[in-house]
Chain A
Amino acid sequence: MERKPFAITLNPASSLANHTGNWRTMRPIYVDHLPPCNQGCPAGENIQGWLYEAEEGKYEQAWRKIMEENPFPAIHGRVCYHPCETACNRGQLDEPVSIHAVERFLGDYAIEQGWQVEAGVETGKRVLVVGAGPSGLSAAYHLARLGHAVTIIEAGPKPGGMMRFGIPQYRLPRNVLDAEIARIVAMGVSIHLNQKVDNLETTIQEGEFDAVFLAIGAHLSKRVDIPGRDAGRMIDVLGFLKGMDGRAVPKIGRRVVVYGGGDTAIDAARTAKRLGAEETILIYRRDRGHMPAHDFEVEEALEEGVLTRWLQTIRQVDNTTLTVEEMTLDEQGRPQPTGRIETLEADTVILAVGQEVDTGFLEDVPGLDISSDGVIQVDASMMTGRAGVFAGGDMVPAERTVTVATGHGKKAARHIDAYLRGSEYRKPSPNTVAAYDRLNTWYYTDADKNRQPYLDLARRRASFEEVVGGLDTDTALLEARRCLSCGNCFECDTCYGVCPDNAIIKLGPGQRYEVNYDYCKGCGVCAEECPCGAIDMVKEVR
């Protein structure tokens, strides 16, 4: 036996010879779970991923991470109804992270800094996109990144689709819209305006296109049968909102009635108010709780002085009056007539009862499945019955929002790319969701949401200035740091610190950790204490 110095009986750390890992029946493993925000995003953004970059003030990396999925952060930060925030786990702790506000900040900052995305290596393939709305532009952007040559044909005078002709300026300033579209044009995408595709097959042949993406949206206002002696007083909502962007500002009277309960109806009411209507009344056949419009938009409209008449339908429109009937809701929440009639005065009636797709140009295309309401059926890869022709946005069955349309564009682009390469796109299967009960919230500080500034009411009623303001570099940083990083390691060192056996190896910044299975006894303290639930305990197999 070796001789030790005086009074030394045991060598330091000689316990390392004792591999306590063989006590283990369960083993900890590092995992990445799917944060609820990512799961909730119709555009498929890796929200937790870009917030992680933004937390460190790495705004360009954060922005580029958004741009991998969505070419319009400044637009979405304004107009998206952020289902991510509804899903956000922080909502169960105090308030959801204001994801849209951070996204908007990043989008605006990128425009200010002039950051650009490069097109991919040319493949020589040509793709036609019909319609320059969110879906078409998104598809064009992703196809350009993948190296395909994209031509967009747009019937309107300017690109943007419903983002321009459906969403008022006070929600989406046109310089922001133009800047994000210009970035796509700078990637080499050509947009032909004021052109209509009359016959798709002819256009495909003449342009020698290898694939087509249809995204013409739903631009026909639905009609309702209201007897009217003076039809000139009734205008359709899309014509009204489109008129706001350019040619002729629509003429309205002093008393305006908007008929409908969706977001577009609210937009029309708020626009009429700004155009100087003394009285703007929103008439909807059900009550506020049953309105399809988002409640915060209803609230903003009420703040601006829009009046409402819930549970009423328009029966007749006359010269300066209109007849309404009071409704009641049955058990299924459907409106039923009561027979009680009222008359009110109105100079203009704006009809906002939904939109349809104009599919006339597709009549000669073989194999297309078009439903009676004009909606086109597509398969899981967004392809229509005609090989090589894909469709997305408002013209296929889905929720009609900018974000869903943008997501369709990306999804279609990936499938078109695979189609052009003769392969099949397979979406990686998602991880399990990082539910709230996976979190150990003790480790997070209480932190109130950073509020976005609002324009004052007087100016909101009288001008088309943007209503909601943005965050600045400081508040955006603080807001990003409210993210709990659900299900994804954020390198907080807690596992490394709490292991009673020093069996977690810290690999250094950006490298995360490793378990030293020679010594890990499988106690599970790391998994229990991990704030964000990024460690699972699994059965040990020997």
Chain B
Amino acid sequence: MPYQRVKFYQTGTFTVGNRLLDESNRTVQAGMDRTNSLNSGHRACQGCGEALGARYALDAVMRATHQQMVAVNATGCLEVFSSPYPESAWQIPWLHSLFGNAPAVASGVAAALRAKGRKDVRVIAQGGDGATVDIGFGCLSGMFERNDDVLYVCYDNEAYMNTGVQRSGSTPPRAWTNTTQAVGVDPGNPMGIGKNLPRIAMAHGIPYVATASVADLHDLEAKVTKAMNFRGARYIHIHVPCPLGWKSDPAHTIKVARLAVESGLFPLIEAEGGEVTDRTPIRKQVPVEQYLELQGRFKHLFHPRDERALEAIQAIADANIHRYQLLPVKA
């Protein structure tokens, strides 16, 4: 499905649905027949960004594959809150093995389907940032290198939330976690460490890499749908706020995600074969402060104001904006 922003309709152009649009041009989530891959009754916290991101991504894959999909899940919040024995919230073929081996298991499922000649069934692997960036990184890199026919989706909530908010390789600079307390000269997570997994994935030269956010559903669905047009290893990194670990208001989950995009801290990009091919421009640029101040994990940057840290974080956003040319071209 070619992706095109509809600019014609001024009422609700960016909304989930639009009654003025043809059904086929609305989002998957607007449909009364969406899969609801992750159904009600799951035990995620109020306002969970990951639960939302998972349903967005998997429902879009289900439509793109005509309901022929298997999902492999790493250990993490998503796995724990969706499948406490004897209940499961999944309405799709779903399997879980260990924390670190989801990419390897998915590679195995893909190999088995190939052996059975089932080209129609597509394989998804998914996990949080802990399983992806740290614990399962070796398996993931191998899956990329072998170019196995798997779409790996990382739901990035920037720390190990399930086990009680410990720092991961994806925790942003200066953020409080239980292992990076807001104490000392440079409180919170140290500046200048951590991994940018979308760029690491691009360095593997795999067919398709993209970043997405729960704050921009049209963009997210378009990228997931596009990913299913490729064979081989693909990677999508979705930014999913965590009200518990970020100490933000559960009602602000999407707002916080939106400010991450609009400030430039979480750039929305696409890459094919290791080269950046497109970016989603910022609609209305905001200073990083607006994003940070909604989250209790950054409270120490404001009481008292830590200008040095705020400037350093703004510099990261500015570098992203420069690198990916995120500001809209002025007419």
Does chain B have a CB within 8 A of A458?
no
Q: Give 6 nearest A-B pairs by CB, closest first.
A: A493-B17, A497-B16, A524-B251, A15-B41, A10-B88, A523-B47
A97 to chain B, nearest CB (A): 9
Does chain A have a CB within 8 A of B137?
no
Contacts of B9 in A (CB 8 A): 445, 481
A506-B32 in contact (CB<8A): yes
B16-A478 in contact (CB<8A): no
Does chain B have a CB within 8 A of A372?
no
B213 to chain A, nearest CB (A): 12
Contacts of B17 in A (CB 8 A): 491-494, 496-497
B87-A18 in contact (CB<8A): yes
Complex alpha-carbon distance, A19 and B20, angstroms: 35
Complex alpha-carbon distance, A528 and B252, angstroms: 7
26 CB < 8 A contacts A-B: A10-B83, A12-B90, A13-B89, A13-B90, A14-B87, A15-B40, A15-B89, A55-B20, A443-B12, A443-B13, A445-B14, A483-B11, A492-B18, A496-B30, A500-B55, A501-B40, A503-B40, A519-B41, A522-B46, A523-B47, A523-B48, A524-B47, A524-B250, A524-B251, A528-B251, A528-B255
Complex alpha-carbon distance, A524 and B52, angstroms: 14
- Contact indicator per residue, chain B 8-31, by CB within 8 Å of chain A (1) or not (0): 011111111111100000110110
Instruction: List 11 other contacts, CB 8 Å, given A18-B43, A18-B87.
Output: A9-B85, A10-B87, A444-B12, A481-B10, A485-B11, A494-B17, A498-B16, A516-B40, A524-B46, A524-B249, A529-B255
B67 to chain A, nearest CB (A): 13
Complex alpha-carbon distance, A501 and B18, angstroms: 22
A56-B12 in contact (CB<8A): no
Does chain A have a CB within 8 A of B36?
yes
A497-B48 in contact (CB<8A): no
Does chain B have a CB within 8 A of A20?
yes
A498-B43 in contact (CB<8A): no
Complex alpha-carbon distance, A521 and B48, angstroms: 10
Greatest chain B CB density within 10 A among A19, A445, A485, A518 is at: A445
A525-B250 in contact (CB<8A): yes
A442-B87 in contact (CB<8A): no
B50 to chain A, nearest CB (A): 8
Contacts of A443 in B (CB 8 A): 12-15
B330 to chain A, nearest CB (A): 13
| B16 and chain A: residue at smallest CB distance | A497
A444-B89 in contact (CB<8A): no
Does chain B have a CB within 8 A of A16?
yes
Complex alpha-carbon distance, A494 and B92, angstroms: 24
A: which residues have CB within 8 A of B? 7, 9-20, 23, 55-56, 442-445, 447, 478, 481-485, 490-494, 496-503, 506, 508-509, 516, 518-519, 521-525, 527-529, 531, 537
Does chain A have a CB within 8 A of B253?
yes
B147 to chain A, nearest CB (A): 28
A523-B41 in contact (CB<8A): no
| B44 and chain A: residue at smallest CB distance | A500
**Interface of chain B residues 270 through 290 with chain A (CB within 8 A):** 283-284
A523 to chain B, nearest CB (A): 4
B40-A20 in contact (CB<8A): yes
Complex alpha-carbon distance, A20 and B95, angstroms: 24
Does chain A have a CB within 8 A of B247?
no
| A502 and chain B: residue at smallest CB distance | B40
A508 in complex: contacting residue of B32, B41, B249, CB < 8 Å: B32
Contact flag A502-B36 (CB < 8 Å), given A497-B29, A524-B251: yes
A444 to chain B, nearest CB (A): 7
Does chain A have a CB within 8 A of B91?
yes
B20-A493 in contact (CB<8A): no
Does chain A have a CB within 8 A of B49?
yes
A14-B11 in contact (CB<8A): no
A444-B283 in contact (CB<8A): no
Does chain A have a CB within 8 A of B42?
yes
A482 in complex: contacting residue of B10, B27, B87, CB < 8 Å: B10
A3 to chain B, nearest CB (A): 14
Complex alpha-carbon distance, A527 and B251, angstroms: 8
Does chain A have a CB within 8 A of B254?
yes
Does chain A have a CB within 8 A of B39?
yes
Does chain A have a CB within 8 A of B308?
no
A492-B16 in contact (CB<8A): yes
B10-A497 in contact (CB<8A): no
Does chain A have a CB within 8 A of B117?
no
Does chain A have a CB within 8 A of B192?
no
Complex alpha-carbon distance, A509 and B23, angstroms: 11
Complex alpha-carbon distance, A522 and B253, angstroms: 13
Complex alpha-carbon distance, A105 and B43, angstroms: 53
B294 to chain A, nearest CB (A): 11
A497-B11 in contact (CB<8A): no
Contacts of A7 in B (CB 8 A): 95
Contacts of A528 in B (CB 8 A): 251-252, 254-255
Contact flag A500-B89 (CB < 8 Å), given A20-B43, A492-B19, A531-B15: no
Contacts of A518 in B (CB 8 A): 40
Contacts of B39 in A (CB 8 A): 13, 15-16, 502
| A19 and chain B: residue at smallest CB distance | B41
Contacts of A56 in B (CB 8 A): 19-20
A291 to chain B, nearest CB (A): 35
| B41 and chain A: residue at smallest CB distance | A15
Contacts of B177 in A (CB 8 A): none
Contacts of B83 in A (CB 8 A): 10
Complex alpha-carbon distance, A524 and B86, angstroms: 29
B11-A481 in contact (CB<8A): yes
Does chain A have a CB within 8 A of B74?
no
**Interface of chain B residues 230 through 257 with chain A (CB within 8 A):** 243, 249-255
A509-B19 in contact (CB<8A): yes
Complex alpha-carbon distance, A222 and B117, angstroms: 95
| A11 and chain B: residue at smallest CB distance | B88
Complex alpha-carbon distance, A265 and B296, angstroms: 62
Contact flag A498-B52 (CB < 8 Å), given A12-B91, A444-B10, A485-B11: yes
Complex alpha-carbon distance, A537 and B250, angstroms: 13
Contacts of A497 in B (CB 8 A): 16-17, 27, 29-30, 217
Complex alpha-carbon distance, A508 and B47, angstroms: 25
Complex alpha-carbon distance, A241 and B32, angstroms: 61
A243 to chain B, nearest CB (A): 46
A484 in complex: contacting residue of B11, B18, B250, B283, CB < 8 Å: B11
- Contact indicator per residue, chain B 32-63, by CB within 8 Å of chain A (1) or not (0): 10001011111110111101100100000000
Contact flag A491-B19 (CB < 8 Å), given A442-B283, A447-B10, A497-B217: yes
Contacts of A508 in B (CB 8 A): 32
Complex alpha-carbon distance, A254 and B130, angstroms: 87
A16-B10 in contact (CB<8A): no
A500-B48 in contact (CB<8A): yes
Contacts of A447 in B (CB 8 A): 10
B10-A525 in contact (CB<8A): no
Contacts of B49 in A (CB 8 A): 500
Contacts of B305 in A (CB 8 A): none
A203 to chain B, nearest CB (A): 52
B306 to chain A, nearest CB (A): 28
B32-A18 in contact (CB<8A): no
| A478 and chain B: residue at smallest CB distance | B10
B291 to chain A, nearest CB (A): 14
A445-B10 in contact (CB<8A): yes
Contact flag A519-B251 (CB < 8 Å), given A14-B87, A482-B10: no
Does chain A have a CB within 8 A of B82?
yes
